[in-house]
Structure 1
Amino acid sequence: MRIGILTGGGDVPGLNACIRSVVLSADDLGWEVMGFRRGWEGVMRIDPGDPASIAANSLVLDRNNVRGIDRMGGTMLHTSRTDPRTQKDGDETPHVLDVLERLGVDAMVTLGGDGTLRFSAHLSAQGVPVISVPKTMDNDVFGTDYCIGFSTAVSRSVEAINALRTTIESHERIGIIELFGRRSGETALLAGFLAQVDRTVIAEVPADLDVLLPLLAEDKASNPDHYAMCVISEGAKIAGDNGGEGDIAKSAIDRADGSVGQRLGREVTARTGSGVVVQELAYLMRAGEPDAMDRMVGFAFGGLAVQLLGRGEGGRMVTLTDGNYGHVPIDTLLHGRKSVDVSALYDRASYRARLMRVEGMPMFLY
């Protein structure tokens, strides 16, 4: 049996651990693994009759060339944000199917976020055995409590927030720290709680500056060190502010009116007179080696993916639910949207996490 594997969307720490786990688990069964470079883009670039295009866009994975990759961040296969259905020349699904058939790929394991896994579900519907593995530091894939990359992103964020306190305190300013999270505020919510910042603004609740700014001013005034800290999701909205509307899908440098953190910082200075430090953590959140949690989940998800294929169970997405590994139909993510349960986990009046009632809750508190 020959398994194809690829990574799509944004890179996160823990992907290489999962790739290694798939390769070792498959090798134990005597199976081959073919890695496709740059996600679905690599598959589309292959001409099955051209050995050079195959070599440029894929590689055979074995125990030797995945040795030690679990300690590294990013993805050894590289990545792209490509959906074969939305290409300039039309839907490239037939070409993808032809490539897989002519290369002798019997099943696919795909590691990705919402976009990558949506095409995985589509490919499964065409009859290809596919196991999808959810990864995103936003933790916003519907159908699983946990995605590879989330723990490391939160850990990186907490470390950076606490490090920034030294500068923000020294200059007696209000710190605005913007974290990735376009549709879901889970990363900001948990990082803000663990770093014990004064206020956290999440993507699900628009910020009313008439409420938020007086709170931050009071936080600063009541702090003996004369500073305050605020975390904000990149996808957060400011009530009454149309700046950045429609730009959230673009990279930060392409947004017409700057990031939401920058816009909030300008308002803080204009309305309160306080100096600000605005810091977008951005790609630092997904940089570097994975923490212990993401290594563990990466290894476990990879092993489970191969076990499912070994049982002839394609068309599944591996999951973590209530602390237990499992799997659901691969199209589960199409039927809902994962975001913060605001009523249970967030106090919208004070812009703070509400995470202290923990009995019976899973480890990550959502």
Structure 2
Amino acid sequence: MRIGILTGGGDVPGLNPCIRAITLSARERGWEVIGLKRGWQGVLEIDPDDPESRARHTIMLHRDAVRGIENVGGTILHSSRLDPRTTDSGDQTGLALRNLDRLGVDALVTMGGDGTLRFSAYLAQLGVKVISVPKTMDNDVFGTDYCLGFSTAVTRSVAMTNSLRTTCASHERIGIVELFGRRSGETALLSGFLSQVERIAIAEVPVDFEGLLSLLLHDKKYNPNGYAICMISEGATILGEDVHDEMGVSNIERRNLKVSTRLARMIASRSQESSLVQEIGYLMRAGEPDAIDRMVGFAYGAYAVQLIEQGRTGKMVCLQDGKYSCVDAGMLLEGTRRVNVPGLYDPAIFRARLRDVEGMPMFVY
């Protein structure tokens, strides 16, 4: 048996622990493990008959090859965002499958977010033996409560937001911290709650600017240190901003600005307050994984190999209600995972709320 592993989409901490767990678990069973570099782009570019091409696009994984990688962020296999169905040359799924066959891959473990896992679900429909591992710091893959990278992203965001307090206080400003999260505001909501910022704006609820501004001005006025912090998802929208012209720019120019910058300009135009804008961005996914992402990475990897051994392919490993489980690989196509606003967020005051804690899984979501 030869297992292929690839990582697609953006990198997150936790991928390398998962790669190590897959490798060690497979090797314990006497199986071979081949790492496929640069995601599906590498699979399409490789010439399996050319030793130089194989060396550039693959790596044989064994205990020594994965020693210590659990302490390193990102992915040793590198990554790409390519979907073989949508290349400039058309649908290249057939080429990808032929190359995998020529590489002797019997089963495949793919780690990725929405794009990578959608193609994995497609392969499962074609009968390919594939196991999907969900990873995204937005934690927005439908069918699982947890994706690799989420905990570390929250940990990084909390630490950097709390560090920013000294600068906001020194200059007595309103701080606006923008986090990744185009469709889901979960990262901002949990990071904002844990760092206890004054207000949180998430992607699921359009922002009532007048209400938010009034609260931030109140927060700043009554803070002995003279500042307030608002955390906002990159995918958040501001109600009515297209019909106002406070920023002196066109609607097209406005849409090209980050939401944190737009919010800061609106605050400046409606009040005498200036803001300090900080996009944490890629630093959320940089560096080594925290304890949770190591733990889940190890577990997801070992579980993926167990499912292959049991002949239960075409699955996505997942966490549901705090327990490891699996669902059909196509589950992510059946819905959209977003914040449970009625249960976890109060849009009137822009804050997280925990109505009923009893019986909830550890990660709240």
State the TM-score, normalizing by the size of structure 2. 0.96
Post-superposition offset of 1:208: 1.2
Q: Which residue of 2 aligns with 1:240?
A: 240
**Structure 1 residue 50 displacement after superposition:** 2.5
**Offset at residue 338 of structure 1 (A):** 0.2
Equivalent residue number for residue 343 of structure 1: 342
- Counterparts of residues 347-362 of structure 1 (less than 5 Å): 347-355=346-354, 357-362=356-361
Deviation of 1:6 after TM superposition, in Å, equals 0.5
Aligned mates of 1:359, 1:305 — CA distance in 2 = 31
> Identity of counterpart residues, as a percentage?
63
Partner Cα distance (1:39, 1:271) in 2: 47
With over 3 angstroms needed to count, the CA separation of the structure-2 counterparts of 1:242 and 1:119, relative to structure 1, is farther
The answer as to 2:34 corresponding to 1:34 is: yes
Distance 1:256 1:201, change over 3 A: closer
What amino acid does structure 1 have at the position aligned with 2:324? Y
Return the alpha-carbon distance in structure 1 between the equivalents of residues 332 and 256 of structure 2. 32
Q: How many Å separate the matches in 1 of 2:254 and 2:117?
A: 26
Query: d(CA) in 2 for partners of 1:321 and 1:227?
Result: 39
For residue 242 of structure 1, report the CA deviation from its aligned partner: 4.4
RMSD between superposed Cα atoms in Å: 1.3
Q: Deviations over 1:178-231 (max 9, x none)?
A: 001111000000000000001000000011111111111111111111100000
Distance (Å, rounded) in 2 between the aligned partners of 1:61 and 1:78: 14
Shift of 1:256: 6.2
CA–CA distance in 1 between the matches of 2:202 and 2:138? 12
For 1:7-156, list aligned pairs within 5 A: 7-156=7-156
1:175-214 pair list within 5 angstroms: 175-214=175-214
Looking at structure 2, the residues matched to 44 and 203 of structure 1 have their Cα atoms a distance apart, in angstroms, of 35
* Structure 1 residues without counterparts, runs of 5 or longer: 244-253
Residues 294-317 of structure 1: per-residue CA shift (max 9 Å, x gap):
000000000000000011111000
1:329 corresponds in structure 2 to 328
Q: TM-score, normalised by structure 1?
A: 0.95
By how many angstroms is 1:159 displaced? 0.3
Aligned residue number for residue 168 of structure 1: 168
Contact between 2:254 and 2:262, CA under 8 Å: does it hold in 1?
Answer: no
Matched pairs, number: 356
Q: State the distance in 2 between where 1:103 and 1:66 align.
A: 20
Shift of 1:357: 2.9
Q: Which letter does structure 2 place at the counterpart of 1:355?
A: L
Partner of 1:248: none
After superposing on structure 2, the runs of 4+ consecutive aligned residues of structure 1 that deviate more than 6 Å are none
Q: Tell me which residue corresponds to 2:246.
A: none
Post-superposition shift, 1:102? Answer: 1.1
Cα distance, 1:166–1:356 mapped onto 2, change above 3 Å: farther
Equivalent position SS for 2:131: strand
Partner residue of 2:249?
Answer: none
Match of 1:285 in 2: 284
> Take 1:242 and 1:298, find their aligned partners in 2: how far apart are those partners?
43
Q: Give 1:53 deviation, angstroms.
A: 1.9
Shift of 1:275: 1.6
Give, in whole Å, the separation in 1 of the partners of 2:307 and 2:254. 42
